[in-house]
Structure formats: structure tokens, C-alpha cells
Amino acid sequence: FATLINMLKYAIQLAAFTAFVSCSSEKNFGIMTTRYILNYYNDQLGTLETLFENNMHKYLTDLETRALSVSEALATCVHEGVVQVEERLLQEVKDALDEESHKIMETMATIADLNAEGIDQL
């Protein structure tokens, strides 16, 4: 699960940039507030259970693809000197994502325990 959680953290964080970050024609790089990014992340968490039940592999593959393309675009913008990324903003997002990943791990452990109890009862 650690690999899954790390991939989700990376992919969802970068997917948030997809929705809220843009390199405009004037080469201005807009970063919305942490609140919007975290709201987007929380929306992703809200649908996580359904995605696990349906087609999690496809979802992760799609997210990974989006994350890579956003990462490349971000790297290009930074490389060209278009944007100075706010370290404080990124650190706040990373801290929040770490906290949420711990919650996911706890939930997964609880689900595993409940499944084990159900199997034992059968």
C-alpha cells in the first residue's frame, strides 16, 4: 500500500495543478491558493472508494499519465524562468497530502481488519 499511497499523493497533487495552474500566453504562471488545491484533493478522496471498487488500475494509469504531463509542463515553465514556485505553498500542500495519506492508510488497515473478521466469522 505504501507504493500506492505515494503514487496517489504524487498524482493527485499534480492533477490539482492541472485544474488550477496555467501558463498563459503572457507567460504568467498562476498558482491558486492552497485552499483550492486541497479542496480538489478532498474531492478526489471523496470518490476514491468508488474508484477502488470500479476500475482502480485504469484510474491510477490515467492519473499517472496526467501527473507526468503536468510535471513536464511545470518543469518547462520553471526552466524557462516563467515562474518562481512558492516553496511555502508547496510545503503546505505536501504536509496536507502527507496527513491525508496517513488517514487513507488507517482506513485501509481498518477495512483489512473488518474483512479478516468477516472471513473468520464465515
**Domain count within the chain:** 1
Which has the higher per-residue pLDDT, 109 or 14?
Answer: 109
pLDDT at 14: 67
**Which set of grid coordinates corresponds to residue 45?**
478522496
Average pLDDT over residues 51-64: 64
Pick from 101, 1, 13, 2: nearest CA to 63: 13
Distance between CA atoms of residues 74 and 81, nearest Å = 11
What pLDDT, in 10s, does the model give residues 66-92?
666 666 666 666 555 555 555 666 666
Contact 10, 99 (CB under 8 A): no
Buried/exposed 81-110: b ≥16 CB within 10 Å, e otherwise:
eebeeeeeeeebbeebbeebbeebeeeeee
Global pTM value: 0.30
Q: Residue 37 is part of which domain span? A: 2-121
pLDDT at 84: 54
What's the distance, CA 10 to chain centroid? 5
